[in-house]
Amino acid sequence: MGLRERKKLQTASRIWRVAVTLFLERGFDDVSVQEIADAAEVSKMTVFNYFGSKEDVVFRPVEDHFGDAARAVRERRPEESPLEAVRRQLLEMVEARDPAVGLNGDPIARQVRELVMRTPVLMERAFLAAQKGTRDLAALLAEETGDTMAATVAAAMLSAARNAVIEEHHRRIDAGESVDAVAADAPERAGRAFALVEHGLGDYARKA
């Protein structure tokens, strides 16, 4: 990476951290782009050049990850099923301690998640991005198989299994466990989650 690229990355990181700090202190809706620019010591136009909108300041660093499952299926290995590809990608990200799968010990990054969950406009953006990721996965599977209905069901189930594992990571780290401790038994949790997709729900929670 050249000097210019490093400086751009540093500027983007500074804007993001300044903006997030302001959002956490005062609330997303009560902070203007001009205030972000002033605090980061850049122009308002610079903020827009890097992020496009105030919402993008929050989501730009993570939004591509909403398409991770579709990417795993699109790039899967020969003879590998979509389920195997999504599970393998998730476990590889766990091994790398990737923040995108909830394994982030940085307090400010975890506070961003709380900010999103308590801010309706951000929560809607997250919901729509997640839905798009599932629709993209469904479209890919439908193109491969020719069965749109089954592809839609499969995409929803794969996304749900993946998201359930990630949510469990967040829950346990929020409760005080270390990133490494949560990552250590992630393969077992992923195995249980994806087993429900692989084997179906026929006997799951059958009432005695």
Q: What pLDDT, in 10s, does the model give residues 144-201?
A: 999 999 999 999 999 999 999 999 999 999 899 999 999 999 999 999 999 999 998 8
pLDDT at 140: 96
Alpha helices (H) in 52-97, listed in sequence order? 54-59, 68-74, 82-95
Q: Alpha carbon of 24 to those of 20, 93, 105: distances in Å?
A: 6, 28, 17
**Overall size of the chain counted in residues:** 208
pLDDT at 4: 86
Q: What is the DSSP string of 1-58?
A: --HHHHHHHHHHHHHHHHHHHHHHHH-GGG--HHHHHHHHTS-HHHHHHHHSSHHHHH
Mean pLDDT of the chain: 93
Q: Taking residues 57-85, report their average pLDDT.
A: 93
- pLDDT > 70: what percent of the chain? 99
Residues 6 or more apart whose CB falls under 8 angstroms from that of 54 comprise 19, 28, 31, 32, 33, 36
- Of 77-91, 93-107, 133-147, 152-166, which range is least confident? 93-107
| pTM check: above 0.95 | no
Which two three-digit tokens encode residue 41? 């010591």
Which two three-digit tokens encode residue 113? 């998640």
Give the pLDDT band of residue 1 (cuts 50, 70, 90).
Answer: low
- Please give the CATH architecture assigned to the domain spanning 63-199: Orthogonal Bundle (1.10)
Residue with tokens 């308590």: 118
Residue with tokens 């940085």: 106
List the domain boundaries for the chain: 3-53, 63-199
Which two three-digit tokens encode residue 40? 């980061």
CA neighbor of 194 nearest in space, from 161, 151, 166, 154: 161
- Please give the CATH architecture assigned to the domain spanning 3-53: Orthogonal Bundle (1.10)
The radius of gyration computed from the CA coordinates of the chain, to the nearest angstrom, equals 19
